[in-house]
Structure 1
Amino acid sequence: MYVIIVGAGEVGRSIAANLEDTHDVVVVDRDGDVTEALTYELDVLTIRGDGTDLEVLREAGLEQAGLVIACTDNDETNAVVCGAAKATSEVFTIARVRRRTLLETWQGSQGAFGVDFMVCTDLLTAQTIFRISGLPSAHDVDTFAGGLVRMAEFDIPEDSPIVDRTVSEADCYDSLTFAAIFRDDEMIVTRGDTVIRACDRVVVIGSPDSMHDFADEVATTPDDTEEVVIVGASEIGFQAAREFEEHGFRPRLIEQDHERAREVAEALPNTMVMESDATNSEFLAREHVGEADVVVAALDSDEKNLLVSLLADRLGVDRTVAIIETPEYADLFETVGVDVAVNPREETAEEIIRFTRTDHTEKIAMLEHARAEVIEIEVGPDSVLVGQDIVDAAAELPDGVVIGAISRGGEHITPRGSTAVQPGDHVIVFVDAAVLDEVVELI
């Protein structure tokens, strides 16, 4: 596919890096230094120019493009880019926005602005925070098949009861599949005799109930998330509080700015908004923040979020979740004690990339900085999975593939060697990124 990406920020670069080997990619940005640097970093064509200018889009190859992705840091610019592209072509357009209100306007107007699909970064991030907060020890959580199936990546602490047990010994769940283990720089596709070690990251796929049972088994912290504290009424912090409210929680939100605190207090009836500096340890102790199950750091800088997370951890908070804008900081944050670091731009790129895949790919989740993916695919009649048991079909698939779950007519099916896949089934598959294109073609 020929793809035009307008905006060479973190989102644009992440998408371009993911697509450069399999698609013809053109990146448009106003900053000449950025486009020049990108030319040396990636195998893509770059153009310096304004993506809202139709002539620039034509220069980028609009007539032959199958997809235009507008992912600058300005919501209005992204909408205009899509509108300009739609004015003279039938290209599929995607706009990245920050404001949920703009997303809701688009949703209510059946494709306004010339946008075929809109991604709201702050809402996606808030939803990710909520999913992760509900599973102790989970590093990454995503849902598939309309919520019927979950995928999660769990940190295995040293005192977890499954340490030094084989996968066969640890697998006592009716609807759960062990997919892979990330151990230091190694990725291991699990087998029954694979031994789980302390500090491993284990990827499992299964039903929500089995996922919670597994979390109870591996975790060293309670799984009952009741007390949630969000630090910072940024748009992400606000959306996170709203997400918790919509699921029946009554979070606390700490915001230093008086006007912003009053604004969000009026908009969030089930959230206790406290006006204070969250880096004040005396305030945190006085308000018993250390008794919280989860503290979410959503301030306006990575450094502040790191400081708040470490203060919360020192006070005894069970889990800390920090928003980071610099992807390179993710490993650093988790090394020094932050339980989970969430990067909004990575969440956005992940959501957009699925539109560059085969028409049958319903959803993707990227793991360990795109080293592997979990994908949901609707199985067609020509799939290698159809007409034979999974154990036989597996012989025709490359190494690095695990069939994690099957959704059939709203029913969750845990795949076993004798399971037969039918056309129309949705399969959730763990795939090594090195063989992804081959696997998608076969399935």
Structure 2
Amino acid sequence: MKIIIAGAGEVGFHLAKLLSYESQEITLIDTNKDSLVYADNHLDIKVIKGDATSIALLKEAKIDTADLLIAVTASETTNITVCVLAKRLGAKRTIARISNTEFIQHKDTVGFTELGIDELISPESLAAAEINLLLSQSAFKDSYEFDEGALTMVGLNLSRTASFVGKTVKEAAELFNEIHFVPIAIQRFGTQLTIIPRGDTRFKEGDNVVFITSKGGGEELCKMTGKINAEIKNVMILGGSKIGYKTSRDLSNNGFYVKLIEKDKDQAFDLADELEKVLVISGDGRDVDLLDEENISDMDAFISVTGNSETNIMSCLVAKSKGVKKTIALVENMDYFELSQSIGIDTLINKKLLAANNIFRYIRKGEVVAMTKLNNMNAEILEFKVKATSKINNKLIKDVDFPRSAIIGGIIRGGEGIIALGDFRVQENDKVVVCCLPRSIKRVEKFFL
């Protein structure tokens, strides 16, 4: 695919990096020379310095032959303008990064598609939605919903007391009469190796395991692993950023008791005016005495979303030492994901990764409904829609010659999630959730064309 990215900031550079690894034809546009020089030296892409709203510059980038334009500059006005121009100049599909979430809520009413913008994404909204989901699935370190929870991906670390440690996948499945979950990826403790499990794969203590669950699967997993999906009601949030504001607003509207700590006094007063159901505290969240004074030990969850990754990590570690059950830290450095398991923070989230996941489904072949990359694992989960022409259509799963580095995690049919085994027949309009290693993605895509 020929892809043009407007904006070489954190999201744009991260997207360019991921896409260049896949041998996509990438052109990166930005006004900042230093950002482009770094990208040009580190990535196999073309860079153009200039304003992406310039028609002459877009023509220089050969916008008329572009399969996809992604506008992710810091200015949502620029992003919208670039997408409108690009579509008029011949780009097949456009995606704009925005910060005003009202645009997403009223996308159809305003008619953004008619204007020339195929998709709107907000990294801040994606991060806030991720936090909401993680709080509802408190026993798990990672979570992602397909079709509003028809199937759910959850991740956890196996402790010594988990009932299926030492058992094979097949033996673990026999512990329940009906199967509502299936493992789709395993990372052995102390390694970076990602395994796509089969029936004879044996679970080991310390494994980081990702499951696909249907309704009831989460409760079964909790019973088998000794995890407790505790109800979370009291939440403390550090940082009144866009993510902090949106998370506080959404949680308080959903009946959570929320305390929000913001260092900047003026911003704290503004937040207090806007968030009537939230207790806003002006103070430095790194101050342990302040956290004690605000009864951090009584909190069910602590979420740190300041602009400083180190502050977020350290404050979550303090919260964990005070007995807080669930901690979530926003980080910018992708390398920190490798440390999350060893340092004791429940979940790390990254805006760049969330935005990239949301955009990546437009790069994959076949009709991809949803997609996510697994944190700290070299694997992707994709949700494909089965067409009449798809090779997998009307076939039993056991008769599909899937690569061993890929696995079907579940099927969504008529809005119902199903953990499908070998004798299940795939039909047109089914949505199939697949986990695969990068080397097998192209083979998997061919089954759904």
User: Which TM-score tier does this pair reach, normalised by the shorter chain?
Assistant: over 0.9
**CA shift for structure 1 position 399:** 1.7
**Separation of aligned partners in 2, 1:38 and 1:187:** 28
| TM-score between both structures, scaled by the size of structure 1 | 0.92
1:296 pairs, out of 300, 303, 308, with 303
Residue 325 of structure 1: aligned partner: 332
2:406 pairs, out of 389, 401, 405, with 401
**Separation of aligned partners in 2, 1:267 and 1:359:** 44
**Separation of aligned partners in 2, 1:106 and 1:259:** 32
Among all aligned residue pairs of Structure 1 and Structure 2, give the percentage whose two residues are the same amino acid: 29
**Separation of aligned partners in 2, 1:282 and 1:323:** 23
**CA shift for structure 1 position 389:** 1.4
**Mean Cα displacement is larger for which, 14-23 or 139-148?**
14-23
Superposition pairs for residues 58-73 of structure 1, below 5 Å?
58-73=59-74
**Mean Cα displacement is larger for which, 43-52 or 12-21?**
12-21
**What does the per-residue CA deviation read over 1:151-202, in whole Å, with 9 as the maximum and x for residues that have no partner?**
1222223444443333234333532111120122211111233222222111
Question: In the alignment, does 2:55 pair up with 1:54?
Answer: yes
Question: In the alignment, does 2:431 pair up with 1:430?
Answer: no
**Separation of aligned partners in 2, 1:380 and 1:434:** 24
**CA shift for structure 1 position 107:** 5.3
CA gap of 1:302–1:436, structure 2 versus 1, over 3 A, is: same
CA contact (8 A) 2:371 2:381 kept: yes
Superposition pairs for residues 344-359 of structure 1, below 5 Å?
344-359=351-366
Question: In the alignment, does 2:124 pair up with 1:122?
Answer: yes
CA gap of 1:160–1:290, structure 2 versus 1, over 3 A, is: farther
**Separation of aligned partners in 2, 1:127 and 1:398:** 33
Q: Letter of the aligned partner of 1:179 in structure 2?
A: I
Coordinate RMSD, CA, aligned: 2.2
CA gap of 1:398–1:268, structure 2 versus 1, over 3 A, is: same
**CA shift for structure 1 position 78:** 1.4
CA contact (8 A) 2:30 2:48 kept: yes
For the residue of structure 2 that corresponds to 1:198, the secondary structure is coil
For the residue of structure 2 that corresponds to 1:290, the secondary structure is helix
CA gap of 1:155–1:243, structure 2 versus 1, over 3 A, is: farther
Superposition pairs for residues 245-284 of structure 1, below 5 Å?
245-284=252-291
Question: In the alignment, does 2:216 pair up with 1:209?
Answer: yes
Residue 29 of structure 2: aligned partner: 28
CA gap of 1:105–1:416, structure 2 versus 1, over 3 A, is: closer
**What does the per-residue CA deviation read over 1:320-342, in whole Å, with 9 as the maximum and x for residues that have no partner?**
10011222233235432222111
CA gap of 1:75–1:22, structure 2 versus 1, over 3 A, is: same
**Separation of aligned partners in 2, 1:164 and 1:99:** 49
Residue 375 of structure 1: aligned partner: 382
CA contact (8 A) 2:222 2:229 kept: no
**Mean Cα displacement is larger for which, 336-345 or 120-129?**
336-345
**Mean Cα displacement is larger for which, 87-96 or 341-350?**
87-96
CA contact (8 A) 1:135 1:212 kept: no
CA gap of 1:266–1:163, structure 2 versus 1, over 3 A, is: farther
CA contact (8 A) 1:136 1:216 kept: no
Residue 138 of structure 1: aligned partner: 140
Residue 182 of structure 2: aligned partner: 177
CA gap of 1:274–1:238, structure 2 versus 1, over 3 A, is: same
Question: In the alignment, does 2:8 pair up with 1:8?
Answer: yes
CA contact (8 A) 1:2 1:23 kept: yes
**What does the per-residue CA deviation read over 1:288-314, in whole Å, with 9 as the maximum and x for residues that have no partner?**
212222100011211221221121111
**Separation of aligned partners in 1, 2:337 and 2:194:** 19
| TM-score between both structures, scaled by the size of structure 2 | 0.91
**What does the per-residue CA deviation read over 1:42-89, in whole Å, with 9 as the maximum and x for residues that have no partner?**
322222222111111111110101211001222222122213213433
For the residue of structure 2 that corresponds to 1:138, the secondary structure is coil
CA gap of 1:311–1:107, structure 2 versus 1, over 3 A, is: farther
**What does the per-residue CA deviation read over 1:268-299, in whole Å, with 9 as the maximum and x for residues that have no partner?**
33322233322221222232212222100011
For the residue of structure 2 that corresponds to 1:320, the secondary structure is strand
**What does the per-residue CA deviation read over 1:327-358, in whole Å, with 9 as the maximum and x for residues that have no partner?**
22332354322221111111011101111223
Superposition pairs for residues 157-168 of structure 1, below 5 Å?
157-168=159-170
**Mean Cα displacement is larger for which, 353-362 or 317-326?**
353-362
Residue 421 of structure 1: aligned partner: 426
Residue 84 of structure 2: aligned partner: 83
1:314 pairs, out of 315, 321, 327, with 321
**CA shift for structure 1 position 95:** 0.8
CA gap of 1:10–1:135, structure 2 versus 1, over 3 A, is: same
CA contact (8 A) 1:137 1:155 kept: no
5+ residue gaps, structure 1, are none
**CA shift for structure 1 position 436:** 0.6
**Separation of aligned partners in 2, 1:387 and 1:296:** 46
**CA shift for structure 1 position 105:** 5.9
**CA shift for structure 1 position 135:** 2.2
CA gap of 1:222–1:369, structure 2 versus 1, over 3 A, is: closer
